[in-house]
Amino acid sequence: MTDEPLLRVRSISKFYGNRIGCNDISFDLWPGEVLAVVGESGSGKTTLLNCLSTRLLPTSGTVSYRMRDGAFHDLYRMSEAERRFLMRTDWGFVHQNPSDGLRMTVSAGANVGERLMAVGQRHYGDIRATATDWLGRVEISSDRIDDQPRAFSGGMRQRLQIARNLVTGPRLVFMDEPTGGLDVSVQARLLDLLRGLVHELGLSAIVVTHDLAVARLLSHRMIVMKDGHVVESGLTDRVLDDPQAPYTQLLVSSILQV
């Protein structure tokens, strides 16, 4: 186990004019750790995720990432090219809507292969073999490799997006409501798949979700947000079994029992 975090977040704030997106958020993310960010719509979860993943410039605060050489780099002091390289190789970003993360008009195999080419692979046979392997790992049959994602169901598209993100062996994956638009049985399959992959690959992940069951299943630790602020944080089962903040108690007590 390493004794240094992978990501250090210090006092991140984002204001939209006078409105708060997220305010003064600090935490460390450790290797192999899955952090869930929960809260209702408009609580600032996605703003936070975007500020951490360099998709949105924060108003203030710092985010530093431990590169593979062990040195911490401030994300907002890197060049645009360095950030883009990080995003394409060492990081993944799984969007709620797969069409935001996939190229819908190229084949499934090319969607996965594109990330490999970004890290310098050029051998067509190798790329295709790796793509086939990854489609299998996300339970897409290999005879669909030449089909475009347009021809896939929502659940398949989401699994393809995951394969595209994980093929380069990233160390950190951001996920924005990864099971959001899927029906329950498809969700269960995706969650099980994600849970297995995260564990097997030792990934760190930050998962934004409004679904506490998803947080319970996937995360070690969670942050509860309301109106741009963190109202509670801690070990996932501690937050869910013994919520302290009034808002967390409301969230937990609002879950419908089946």
Partner 1 sequence: MATPLVVSEVCKSFTMHLQGGIRLPVVSDVSFSLSAGECAVLGGPSGAGKSSILKMIYGSYAIDTGQVIVSHDGNLVNLATADPRTVIAIRRDTIGYVSQFLRAVPRVSARDVVAEPLIARGEVLETARGRAEMLLERLNLPERLWDLPPATFSGGEQQRVNIARGFITDHPVLLLDEPTASLDKANREIVVSMIDEKKKAGVALLGIFHDQDVREIVADRIIDVTDFAPGRKAA
Angle between helices 124-137 and 154-166 (to 10 degrees): 130
Rounded CA gap, 93 and 53, in Å?
Answer: 8
Measured in whole angstroms, how far is the alpha carbon of residue 43 from the centre of its chain? 18
- Closest approach of partner 1 to the CB of residue 147, in Å: 25
The verdict on 197 binding partner 1 (CB under 8 A) reads: no
Candidate ranges 61-69, 71-79, 105-113, 239-247; the one touching partner 1 (CB under 8 A): 239-247
Binding of partner 1 at residue 227 (CB under 8 A)? no
Contact characters 160-179, partner 1, x per CB under 8 A: --------------------
Residue 253 as a binder of partner 1 (CB under 8 A): the answer is yes
Rounded to the nearest whole angstrom, what is the least distance from the CB of residue 5 to partner 1 in the complex?
Answer: 9
Q: Please list, in sequence order, all residues whose beta carbon lies within 8 angstroms of the beta carbon of residue 118, skipping any fewer than 6 positions away.
A: 88, 89, 168
Q: Which one of 17-25, 47-55, 111-119, 189-197 is the stretch in contact with partner 1 (CB under 8 A)?
A: 189-197
For partner 1, the closer CB: 77 or 195: 195
Q: Is the distance from CB of 30 to CB of 6 less than 8 angstroms?
A: yes
Asked if 232 and 240 count as a contact pair (C-beta separation under 8 A), the reply is no
Among 129, 183, 244, 255, binds partner 1 (CB under 8 A): 244
The count of other CB atoms within 10 Å of the CB of residue 258 is 4
DSSP, collapsed to helix, strand or coil, labels residue 59 as: coil
Q: Give 3-state DSSP helix, strand, coil % of the chain, rounded to 5.
A: 40, 25, 35
Interface with partner 1, residue 210, by CB under 8 A: no
Tell me the number of residues near partner 1 by CB under 8 A.
23
Exposed e or buried b per residue across 138-161, where buried means at least 16 C-beta atoms within 10 angstroms of its C-beta: bebeeebbeebbeebeebbbbbbb
The stretch near partner 1 (CB under 8 A) out of 41-49, 62-70, 169-177, 235-243 is: 235-243
Separation CA 87–CA 79 (nearest Å): 12
According to the binding rule CB under 8 A, does residue 234 interact with partner 1? yes
Q: Which of 60, 133, 237, 255 binds partner 1 (CB under 8 A)?
A: 237
DSSP helix/strand/coil, 100: helix
Q: Which residues bind partner 1 (CB under 8 A)?
A: 1, 30, 33, 188-189, 191-192, 195, 217, 220-221, 234-235, 237-238, 241-242, 244-246, 249-250, 253
